[in-house]
Amino acid sequence: MTSPASAPASGPRPQDGPEPGPPPGGSPLSVTLDAVRQAQKVLSGVSRTTALEGSRHLSALIGAPVHLKCENLQRTGSFKVRGAYVRIAGLSARERAAGVVAASAGNHAQGVALAASLLGVRSTVFMPEGAPLPKVAATREYGAEVRLHGQVVDETLRAAQEYARRTGAVFIHPFDHPDVIAGQGTVGLEILEQCPEVRTVVVGIGGGGLAAGIAVAVKALRPDVRIVGVQAAGAAAYPPSLKAGHPVTLEAPATMADGIKVGRPGDVPFGIVERLVDEVRTVSEDQIAAALLLCLERAKLVVEPAGATPVAALLAAPSSFEGPVVAVLSGGNVDPLLMQGVLRHGMAAAGRYLSLRLRLTDRPGALAALLEVLSAADANVLDVSHVRTDPRLGLTEAEVELHLETKGQEHCSAVRAALREAGYLVMS
């Protein structure tokens, strides 16, 4: 498949048997189906078997059934508690006594905090100084000692690793450990149980732990199922890594999807993704915003930007997916302020929100006349800024900035046309 917004970075890698064996000249997979099944037993009564919800809108768009795997409804609001619990549960008594430490901007922090609390293990979580306050508060409420350090996650990660060296606490990596990957792989087992006829699984990729775990479980039992990974275009470390044949570090990953803003694939998940994930695609920030808006409006689900990337991929190239499709909504922990901005951006991209700047004659009743034109065009005025004193304006001119609620791109064009026909100079 080829499109400006979504391009494959690797070709299909079909499997020949139920349990993938070692590649020619290589080593066997670091995580096996048996490990994922054991993780499922460990998680019994701990993690939720999250719902698989059908989407009529996406199904009509794809031309085949589309289901949403709602890990945004998991305990702590994301899949992360699965891997964290399996990892900590596997520690020896001596290691548990030393406590655990993690670094995260949100989801992994909460997963480790809850898992450690459930297992009676002391946890310390390092978070960036700019981490959203709701995520910091939630991590503390789950029982962790939170330490704010650094401006970016890389600085926070180094601080956590130094703390582990100094105190003997066990560092719990968010994705680069076989136990963590096995825990995340239980999502794949649930998908096969809930939708045995599935043909394609679409999952977001950051470091690769979730995609790797799902791929191990699904490909071992159903090698015919296609696994498609999705990354934000501004933080897509996997395409160049797959091309190079080894993990490659991005200099400055940038995306609002902070849950998958990872500069370098993990060594352990990379080896699995390279062998078992059929394709990795990228999506733009606008496509992520549109997907988040769709999840909220059509599915009534609050999903964070990282969790919406599989839906963004479906929207970007609907004809390229064979159904039934399962899209994994990996998390729902989104800061309210970010949600507000993303929704506004998504509405603008969908033609549901229009900003205009125009000039009119500064006389009594001029603004009322303008609003009458907008009312006749069925545009809902959200905000008006009326400027009369600006050196750029003529003596009898005024400038008005409008924020309108509209009904789509065609309606936006119709509103602009109505203003021009009424004699208004539309500046933007």
| CATH number for the domain harbouring residue 207 | 3.40.50.1100
Residues 322 and 392 in one domain: no
Domain boundary at 143, 171, 199, which? Answer: 171
> CA 209, 213, 218, 219 torsion: positive or negative?
positive
Q: Is there a domain that residue 212 lies in?
A: yes
Q: Is there a domain that residue 17 lies in?
A: no
Residues 299 and 386 in one domain: no
Residues 53 and 128 in one domain: no
Question: What pLDDT score was predicted for residue 214?
Answer: 98
Residues 284 and 380 in one domain: no
Q: Is there a domain that residue 25 lies in?
A: no
Residues 236 and 305 in one domain: yes
Residues 188 and 248 in one domain: yes
Closest CA to 216 of 12, 10, 21, 68: 21
If you write DSSP's letter for every residue of 327-379 in order, what string do you get? EEE-B----HHHHHHHHHHHHHHTTSEEEEEEEEE-STTHHHHHHHHHHHTTP
Question: What pLDDT score was predicted for residue 1?
Answer: 36
Q: Is there a domain that residue 16 lies in?
A: no
> CA 172, 174, 176, 178 torsion: positive or negative?
positive
Residues 100 and 183 in one domain: no
If you write DSSP's letter for every residue of 193-233 in order, what string do you get? HH-TT--EEEEE-SSSHHHHHHHHHHHHH-TTSEEEEEEEG
Question: What pLDDT score was predicted for residue 10?
Answer: 40
pLDDT tens for the 428 residues of the chain, in order: 333 344 444 443 333 344 444 433 344 678 999 999 999 999 999 999 999 999 999 999 999 999 999 999 999 999 999 999 999 999 999 999 999 999 987 899 999 999 999 999 999 999 988 787 888 999 999 999 999 998 777 788 889 999 999 999 999 999 999 999 999 999 999 999 999 999 999 999 999 999 999 999 999 999 999 999 999 999 999 999 999 999 999 988 888 888 888 889 999 999 999 999 999 999 999 899 889 989 998 999 999 999 999 999 999 999 999 999 999 999 999 888 888 887 777 777 777 888 888 877 777 888 888 888 888 989 888 888 866 566 565 566 777 788 888 888 889 889 888 988 888 888 77
Residues 187 and 317 in one domain: yes
Question: How far, in Å, are 22, 148, 220, 226 from residue 16 at the CA level?
Answer: 12, 48, 10, 14
Residues 47 and 109 in one domain: no
Q: What is the CATH number of the domain that holds 414?
A: 3.30.70.260
Q: Is there a domain that residue 294 lies in?
A: yes
330 a catalytic residue:
yes
Closest CA to 1 of 318, 324, 326: 318
Question: What pLDDT score was predicted for residue 400?
Answer: 79
Cβ contacts of 397 within 8 Å, gap of 6 or more = 359, 360, 361, 362
Q: What angle do CA 19, 238, 63 make, to 5 degrees?
A: 70
> How far apart (Å, rounded) are the C-alpha atoms in residues 164 and 124?
10
- Measured in degrees and rounded to the nearest 5, phi and psi for residue 100 equal -125, 160
Residues 203 and 279 in one domain: yes
Q: Is there a domain that residue 9 lies in?
A: no
* The two structure tokens encoding residue 280: 């990795």
- Residue 28 DSSP label: P
- Residue 319 DSSP label: G
Residues 120 and 188 in one domain: no
Q: Is there a domain that residue 26 lies in?
A: no
- Residue 78 DSSP label: B
Residues forming beta bridges with residue 17, ordered by sequence position: none
Q: Is there a domain that residue 12 lies in?
A: no
80 a catalytic residue:
yes
Q: For the beta carbon of residue 298, count every other beta carbon within 10 angstroms.
A: 13
* The two structure tokens encoding residue 378: 């069925």
Which residue in 80, 135, 219, 261 is the catalytic one? 80
The DSSP element (H or E) to which 308 belongs, if any, is helix 305-316
Residues 289 and 149 in one domain: no
* The two structure tokens encoding residue 150: 């650094």
Closest CA to 425 of 403, 395, 389, 393: 393
Question: What pLDDT score was predicted for residue 28?
Answer: 63
Domain boundary at 119, 141, 171, which? Answer: 171
Question: What pLDDT score was predicted for residue 370?
Answer: 85
Count of domains for the chain: 3
Q: What is the pTM of this model?
A: 0.83
Domain boundary at 149, 171, 193, which? Answer: 171
Residue range of the domain that includes 360:
351-426
Which residue in 6, 78, 320, 330 is the catalytic one? 330
Q: What Rg, from alpha-carbon coordinates, does the chain have?
A: 25
